[in-house]
Amino acid sequence: MSLVRSFWRFVLALLREIGDENAYQRHLAAHGRVHSGAEWRRFSEEWMRAKYARAKCC
């Protein structure tokens, strides 16, 4: 059972990493800020600009 739980935790963590939710949490922690709509928009603007300036693989 614990194996299933840890696998599920891993899957969620992976999805959060791919979905940039972990990056947002790190951003909040690094700047000592709390979550808000404006904060997410500030983060996503900066993050997406960098993310979509890199080539995507074929």
Question: Applying CB under 8 A, which residues contact another protein?
Answer: 10, 13-21, 23-24, 26-27, 29-31, 35-37, 39-41, 44-58
Instruction: Compute how many other C-beta atoms are within 10 angstroms of the C-beta atom of residue 21.
Output: 13
Helices (H), 1-58: 2-18, 21-31, 37-51
Shortest Cβ 26–another protein spacing (Å): 5
Cα separation, 50 vs 58, in Å, equals 19
Is the Cβ of residue 2 or residue 37 nearer to another protein in the bound state?
Answer: 37
Shortest Cβ 29–another protein spacing (Å): 7
